[in-house]
């Protein structure tokens, strides 16, 4: 039985990116009073979706074992996109950070992080149970 399956890899990657998103949000909040600062957004959901790709719709067919694996579970090579928030309202000082929206984003991010932690714990507990019952 493979302990480190695709679900655990996906959840671990999601947790890593949630941590990165948290750091980006705190950076936005720290720069809320900085003139001309543009709020940043981190987008990883599409990359994670492509990596999970349970139906192998995005898998590249290769004819040589030296070809790089593309899609279909490349969790270690995922990179999130960071860009200026296109929905930010420009303030009088040129700053687009809305502290209230950033705090809401941070709370949502924390909830999703905690959900991923709980899912990983449940998945590992289930695997422990299965391994224990196979004796």
Q: Residues 90-112: pLDDT tens digits?
A: 888 889 999 999 999 999 999 99
Tens of pLDDT, residues 21-42:
999 999 999 999 999 999 999 8
- Is this structure's pTM higher than 0.75? no
User: Which of the four pLDDT bands, split at 50, 70 and 90, describes residue 64?
Assistant: low
What does each C-alpha distance from 106 to 102, 120, 135 come to in angstroms? 6, 21, 44
For range 121-125, the mean pLDDT: 90
Residues shown for the chain: 135
Closest among 26, 19, 21, 23 to 41, alpha carbons compared: 21
Strand partners, 86: none
């Amino acid at each position: 039985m493979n302990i480190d399956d695709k679900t655990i890899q996906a959840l671990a990657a999601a947790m890593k990116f949630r941590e990165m998103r948290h750091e980006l949000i705190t950076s936005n909040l720290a720069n809320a009073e900085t003139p001309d600062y543009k709020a940043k957004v981190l987008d990883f959901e599409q990359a994670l979706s492509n990596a999970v790709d349970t139906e192998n719709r995005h898998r590249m067919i290769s004819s040589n074992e030296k070809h790089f694996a593309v899609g279909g579970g490349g969790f270690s090579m995922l990179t999130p996109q960071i860009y200026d928030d296109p929905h930010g309202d420009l303030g009088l000082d040129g700053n687009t950070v809305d502290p209230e929206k950033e705090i809401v984003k941070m709370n949502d991010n924390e909830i999703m992080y905690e959900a991923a932690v709980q899912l990983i714990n449940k998945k590992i507990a289930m695997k422990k149970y299965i391994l224990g019952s196979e004796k």
